């Protein structure tokens, strides 16, 4: 429901102590009127223009001089009697100026009329009426719970989230209630819907990391909505259609799981053997391996969490990947490699002319030996058994394809290895390093989505971390190459400043008051910070360069299959 006529609700307040300014104003209104933070109001201004403001805070006052006045008026604190003295009360709201339709940003005048805005005026006030390359990112509600309620789809300029003008998305919020993964998947669903058309000048593909259970391991299958909520499916479909989106799940999806032998008792994924077989039979799933001759250069990813102040680990890795090295240049398997490292770690080993100490080799061996015990570090790849090298598959990603890489069941060091290898491969793919290889025809943009970003790009990650270096490369230079990072974490304040600083779009979900007191939230008004502690599931505050204000948006439930926890 939307209104088509402005409704007069109050007048501007300008006093000696609280003047109106270029940036903000106060206005009084009836104390029974339902208004909320983020609602838009319209104010009459000079030359027949209108100034629009976004409500930041609402207060209620009476003519009582102090709290004691009210106490005394109630027969000195009798809670059972009604106050015999009539108190004149009103609400007054503080609003931030967002727009003037004649570009007149002088302060609004005392006693100027204040109106609720129409749907058309709201889109104009927020800068949503002239958005180029529109990409839906949710819907917003104004004047909720009143007869004037307005619901509008919110679009942002896709070039400010996918590049080249701006890129990268950061989503923050506490676990569970904030629904970070669901919001990222909603945006990617909107992007796939928009960019699957052949007439688009840009093309997009997605590389998604599944980090929890099998949450994202059936995103091409429809949600069965098996909850107890009656009519939930119809309601969700209606919401998608109202936003201009299809009600189908993701298309062109391929799944990649770490290799383990089918007979192994310990599996590397939360998928059942039947689910794995069904996906392989459908040509949708492959098991990835790492082969020494092709993947030894990525060994450094295993040291992402290990401080290396003297760069001895780096020296060892440089020696290993040197094809001319007398010790490691001619090796062909991980077993040969471990045997050679063991030899170097033997007490009294003379290699390297003393350049690298035996203690350093032993430290290197402790890290590497544990990691290489995993079955995905193999001798060869058997393509007829649905096996692959992940990097080889990533090189061949095409427009509108979705690659889901399952790392949920791997230990953290191996998760880091797979993630780091994939990010490096995608970055090098867009740099053109694989252009000479067959079947390489990448889309113009590749979105990488990773939850739990704090594992790889927190302020506590060693500065020497190769994965942090890859993420910084993507956020700082990926925009021009077409590599886009969608990242989520529980606490934004823990993430490296250069990562969040290079994200053009920020989504704030529900969090706690300890988090909102951090420096990272200093740009948000106090009312908005308080609101973050009580946001409903499905609500986000979204910041984007094209929005004239932070917007509170809502998004519908996932359209793809959900697994019960």
The answer on 472 and 431 residing in a single domain is yes
* CA 399 vs CA 4, 135, 348: distances in Å: 42, 18, 55
CATH number at residue 66: 2.40.30
Question: CB neighbours (10 Å) of residue 115?
Answer: 19
The answer on 101 and 66 residing in a single domain is yes
Domain boundary among the residues 470, 488, 505 is at: 505
Nearby residues of 9 by Cβ (< 8 Å), 6 or more positions away: 29, 30, 33, 35, 41, 114, 115, 116
Pairing of strands 253-258, 285-291: parallel
Whether 75 maps to a domain, the answer reads yes
The pLDDT score that the predictor gives to residue 85 is 66
CATH number at residue 281: 3.40.50
β-partners of residue 150 are 142
The answer on 424 and 490 residing in a single domain is yes
The pLDDT score that the predictor gives to residue 532 is 87
The pLDDT score that the predictor gives to residue 228 is 62
Burial 252-270 (b: 16+ CB within 10 A, else e): bbbbbbbbbeeeeeebbbb
The answer on 388 and 278 residing in a single domain is yes
Domain count across the chain: 3
Whether 138 maps to a domain, the answer reads no
Q: Most distant CA pair in the chain: distance in Å?
A: 98
Whether 178 maps to a domain, the answer reads yes
* CA 255 vs CA 101, 210, 289, 405, 564: distances in Å: 50, 10, 14, 6, 20
Nearby residues of 137 by Cβ (< 8 Å), 6 or more positions away: 154, 155, 156, 187, 190, 542, 544, 553, 555
Whether 346 maps to a domain, the answer reads yes
The pLDDT score that the predictor gives to residue 200 is 66
The answer on 465 and 450 residing in a single domain is yes
Degrees (nearest 5) of the Cα angle 250, 253, 257? 130
* CA 379 vs CA 218, 291, 331, 358, 394: distances in Å: 30, 6, 12, 28, 20
Q: Is the peptide bond before 102 cis (omega within 30 degrees of 0)?
A: no
pLDDT in tens for each of the 565 residues of the chain? Answer: 344 567 899 999 999 999 999 999 999 998 888 898 889 999 999 999 999 999 989 999 888 888 888 787 777 777 887 766 677 888 999 999 999 999 999 999 999 999 999 999 999 888 888 888 889 999 998 888 888 888 899 998 888 899 888 889 999 988 766 588 999 999 999 999 998 875 667 899 999 999 988 989 999 999 988 766 778 889 999 999 999 999 999 999 999 999 988 777 678 899 999 999 999 999 999 999 999 888 888 888 887 777 767 777 888 888 888 777 777 878 888 888 888 888 888 865 555 555 778 888 888 888 888 878 888 888 888 878 899 999 999 999 999 999 999 999 988 888 888 999 999 999 999 998 988 888 888 999 999 999 988 888 888 888 878 888 889 889 988 888 999 999 999 888 888 888 888 898 999 988 888 888 888 888 787 878 888 888 888 889 898 888 878 888 999 999 999 886 5
Whether 472 maps to a domain, the answer reads yes
The answer on 387 and 480 residing in a single domain is yes
Pairing of strands 113-116, 40-44: antiparallel
Nearby residues of 391 by Cβ (< 8 Å), 6 or more positions away: 294, 295, 421, 422, 425
Q: What is the DSSP string of 498-544?
A: HHHHT-SEEEE----HHHHTSGGGTTS-HHHHHHHTTPPTTEEEEE-
Nearby residues of 295 by Cβ (< 8 Å), 6 or more positions away: 389, 391, 421
The answer on 301 and 286 residing in a single domain is no
Whether 326 maps to a domain, the answer reads yes
The pLDDT score that the predictor gives to residue 260 is 87
H or E stretch covering 467: helix 466-481
The answer on 304 and 439 residing in a single domain is no
End-to-end CA separation in angstroms for the chain: 36
Query: Do 493 and 487 meet the contact criterion of CB atoms below 8 Å apart?
Result: no
Distance of CA 429 to the CA centre of its chain: 23
The answer on 297 and 281 residing in a single domain is no
* Euclidean distance between CA atoms 43 and 111, whole angstroms: 10
Burial 447-467 (b: 16+ CB within 10 A, else e): bbbbbbbbbbbbeebeebbbb
Whether 335 maps to a domain, the answer reads yes
Domain boundary among the residues 484, 505, 526 is at: 505
> For the whole model, what pTM was predicted?
0.88
The pLDDT score that the predictor gives to residue 79 is 81
- Which range marks the domain in which residue 33 is found? 7-123
β-partners of residue 486 are 169, 449
The answer on 230 and 177 residing in a single domain is yes
Which long-range contacts link 359-363 to residues 24+ away (Cβ below 8 Å)?
360/312, 360/313, 360/315, 360/316, 361/316, 363/312, 363/313
Nearby residues of 186 by Cβ (< 8 Å), 6 or more positions away: 138, 555, 556, 558
- Alpha-carbon dihedral sign for residues 215, 216, 217, 219: positive
The answer on 347 and 453 residing in a single domain is no
Which one-letter DSSP state was computed for residue 229? -
Whether 521 maps to a domain, the answer reads no
The answer on 494 and 348 residing in a single domain is no
């Amino acid at each position: 429901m939307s209104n088509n006529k402005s409704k007069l609700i109050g007048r501007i307040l300008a006093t000696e102590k609280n003047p109106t300014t270029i940036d903000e104003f106060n206005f009084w209104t009836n104390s029974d009127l339902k208004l909320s933070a983020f609602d838009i109001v319209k104010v009459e201004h000079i030359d027949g223009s209108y100034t629009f403001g976004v409500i930041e805070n609402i207060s209620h006052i009476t003519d009582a001089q102090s709290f004691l006045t009210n106490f005394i008026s109630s027969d000195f604190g009798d809670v059972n009697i009604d106050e015999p003295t009539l108190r004149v009360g009103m609400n007054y709201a503080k609003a931030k100026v967002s727009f003037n339709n004649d570009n007149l940003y002088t302060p609004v005048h005392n006693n100027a009329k204040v109106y609720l805005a129409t749907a058309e005026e709201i889109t104009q006030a927020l800068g949503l009426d002239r958005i180029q390359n529109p990409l839906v990112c949710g819907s917003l509600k104004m004047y909720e719970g009143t007869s004037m309620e307005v619901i509008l789809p919110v679009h942002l300029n896709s070039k400010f989230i996918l590049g080249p003008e701006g890129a990268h998305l950061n989503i923050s919020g506490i676990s569970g209630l904030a629904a970070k993964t669901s919001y990222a998947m909603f945006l990617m669903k909107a992007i796939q819907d928009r960019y699957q058309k052949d007439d688009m000048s840009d093309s997009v593909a997605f590389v998604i990391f599944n980090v929890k259970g099998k949450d994202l391991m059936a995103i091409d299958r429809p949600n069965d909505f098996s909850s107890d909520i009656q009519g939930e499916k119809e309601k969700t479909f209606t919401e998608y259609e109202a936003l201009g989106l299809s009600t189908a799940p993701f298309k062109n999806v391929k799944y990649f799981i770490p290799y383990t032998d089918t007979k192994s008792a310990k599996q590397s994924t939360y998928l059942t053997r039947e689910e794995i077989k069904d996906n392989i039979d459908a040509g949708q799933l492959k098991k990835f391996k790492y082969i020494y001759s092709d993947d030894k250069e990525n060994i450094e990813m295993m040291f992402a969490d290990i401080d290396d102040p003297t760069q001895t680990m780096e020296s060892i890795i440089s020696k290993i990947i040197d094809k001319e090295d007398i010790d490691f240049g001619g090796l062909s398997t991980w077993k040969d490699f471990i045997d050679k490292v063991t030899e170097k770690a033997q007490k009294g080993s003379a290699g390297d002319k003393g350049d690298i100490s035996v203690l350093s080799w032993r430290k290197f061996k402790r890290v590497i030996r544990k990691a290489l015990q995993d079955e995905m570090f193999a001798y060869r790849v058997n393509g007829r058994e649905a096996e692959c090298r992940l990097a080889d598959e990533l090189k061949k990603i095409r427009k509108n394809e979705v690659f889901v890489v399952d790392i949920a069941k791997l230990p953290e060091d191996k998760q880091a290895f797979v993630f780091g290898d994939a990010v490096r491969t995608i970055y090098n793919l867009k740099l053109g390093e694989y252009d000479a290889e067959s079947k390489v025809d990448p889309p113009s943009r590749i979105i990488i989505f990773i939850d739990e970003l704090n594992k790889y790009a927190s302020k506590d990650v060693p500065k020497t971390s190769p994965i942090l270096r890859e993420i910084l490369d993507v956020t700082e230079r990926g925009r021009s190459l077409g590599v886009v990072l969608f990242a989520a974490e529980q606490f934004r304040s823990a993430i490296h400043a250069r990562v969040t600083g290079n994200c053009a779009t920020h989504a704030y979900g529900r969090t706690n008051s300890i988090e909102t007191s951090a420096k990272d939230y200093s740009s948000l008004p106090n009312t908005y910070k308080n609101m973050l502690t009580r946001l409903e599931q499905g609500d986000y505050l979204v910041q984007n360069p094209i929005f004239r204000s932070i917007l509170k948006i809502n998004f519908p439930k996932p359209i793809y299959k959900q697994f019960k926890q």
